[in-house]
Chain A
Amino acid sequence: MVERFKELGTITFSLILFTLLWEVSVRLLSVSEFLLPAPSVVALTIYEKFLPLMQNCLVTFRETIYGFLMGLVLGVISAIMIVYSRLLQNLLYPLILVAQIVPKVAIAPLLLIWVGYGEMSKVLIAFLVSWFPIIVTTVQGMRMVQPEMLDLVRSLQASDWQVFTKVRLPNALPHFFGGLKIAITLAVIGAIIGEFVGGNTGLGYLVMVANYEVNTPFMFAALVVLSALGLVLYGVLVLLEMWLIPWSIGDDEQEMTGFGM
């Protein structure tokens, strides 16, 4: 725990240092605000536009969470079907793979045509990007059971249900949480992509508007709120993981691989 706090201290320090350097160099070199606003200017913009920023953040948050939860539920169900049925595996895997390989940015306009410009299209894109990592990691977790573990419970005449609940499911949990952490960050990106392509609310929409108006400080403000949203969501999952599966050794490096749109 002490180690963790130390780590946190180092990270905070490097962030503060980075911000300070940014502030000082922008001022010293008198960089134009529309090219790169100083952190103080961005902070002021956030303060001034706090209400619209939060209102739009709430929209993006909602789209992200709904999409993520859809991905979670359907991902886990698909994973169980894939693990327990060869037929379903052969039916589902190609579909899932195709759904993953098609660039989400490219099918976003299509989704907008299908379900309209409202929040639903963003939810669907967030779902589409978060589904895949959850399936892959959950399947892997349920399959990667030490053979001796299965021998052990089999020697005790365990039922299939017992093998599932007492071995495969708990064994999958650390992998599953790894998948969730990837999925939540992707879900935020998914929602933003949807807002970029079409819509009139959300942080992604604000970024677009700021872009049209060449209002760089406001664009940065939206980006800061957006990053904070992603970080908070990720942090909540980390806390949930620590609380629900304290027995698991967090291996962040392993989880960081597998990113990709």
Chain B
Amino acid sequence: MVSALGIQLGVVGAYLVVALAVGLLAYRLTSRDAEDYYLAGRSIGTVVLLFTTFATLLSAFTFFGGPDLAYRAGPEWILVMGVMDGVLFAILWYVVGYKQWLVGRAHGYVTLGEMLGDRFGSTRLRAVVAVVSLFWLFPYVMLQQMGAGEAIVGLTNGMVPYWAGAAGITVFMIAYVVIAGLRGVAWTDTLQGLFMLGVVWLAVGWVATAAGGPTALSNALATNEPEFLALGGGLYSPQFIISSAVTIAFGVAMFPQINQRFFVAKSSAVLKRSFALWPVLVVLLFVPAFILGTWAAGLGITVPEGANVLPVLLNEYTPVWFAALVIAGAMAAMMSSSDSMLLSGSSYFTRDLYRPFINPDASEAREAWLARIGVALFATLTFVASLFRPGTLVSVGDTAFGGFAQMALPVIVALYWAKTTRTGMFAGILGSQAFYLAHVFVPAIEVGSMTLFGATYLTWDYALWGMALSALLTVGVSAMTAAAPEENQSRFTDGLRAD
């Protein structure tokens, strides 16, 4: 008789090996130049683009953080993520993504920093964008390791410690990125996206059947957590819903791994098709995932310290192997998120920092080698930081999204308003980052009846105020300054062709 622990680790391990095999296959098809390594030769089709972007969004934040939040505070998180991902992000997919795709195709850009640096004739701006992005990428990669650690604790009921889960996923994701590059990542993202979509619905069906059906579950919820069924209340104020949805959506558009995806589509038809499919995919995945967390609250599941609710619920209501399979799917999602993040992060580092500032004549081979070292180092540092567990999955993720969101409006202004100046960009990006960082790190101070550096001003999240400030600074300073002679003002507007 195989022990439960044996089955759990066997299923999770086997899944990771399959993912690695697909990565290796992709590696054999990948040519070695940078454009291919990072962008899979700009040849990604609809299904793969959609799933690769989707799986990249589907990190520990959505798959474990979301159900945890639904378990603690109610299912309204479905609405936040639905508005954010299904509607707002889809619109940004067009406004930022399609525009970047056109610009990138016309001028051959691979990173956001490269695009802005070229438009504004400034390697320094390019570096600022890369540094800010890498800074906020750090907590988000760390989040995946935290998620993996907590999932393993929940699945094995603490028999495998937190650090082992976090370390395991770290080793796996380093190995994977170093070997495969984006084509590998994109392929496995598709595999993982489809797998998760299937498995999460099976999980809902299984739990619902075992617990007596959806009506019995909602009755249990009405008895145990009556306020969960009503829209709003508790954590969920209109301000919270709006602030979270807006900052996350804009933040996601600036995420290196998502933003870089804007350059990879084969044709605009691919972007069009993906655009219309967003809301559907979001509902298909988030409703079941977060409803599971909500049901767990109604069923009176108790979650051990430092674990996720999802594996605990599944262990209670489904067979051991199935619970392990769902966790494997979630780990795979986190891996693909981390893979993409690390890969994009490494391209920001080598192309926007190392090459322009340290060694312009570095050979392709040296750059590729350096990118891999960078990935290993970055992932190791985030792993160490993840051991300190600085917050819940949702709070860490939210902070990172907010940091990226501060960059979104300056970028959008630059993409659409030819009078934007370099000074305006610096003011918008650096000013809002300073504001946001101060609010993340400086403790709240009472000044008279006002709280400075608190979580909100006039009940609205500081991240939202930071975004407003970023737009104001970019537009205001641009209006007051003249363009530098090296700027290419028509770069983002002229010569763009649809196909």
A and B from one assembly?
no
Chain A positions within 8 Å of B, measured between CB atoms, are none
Chain B positions within 8 Å of A, measured between CB atoms, are none
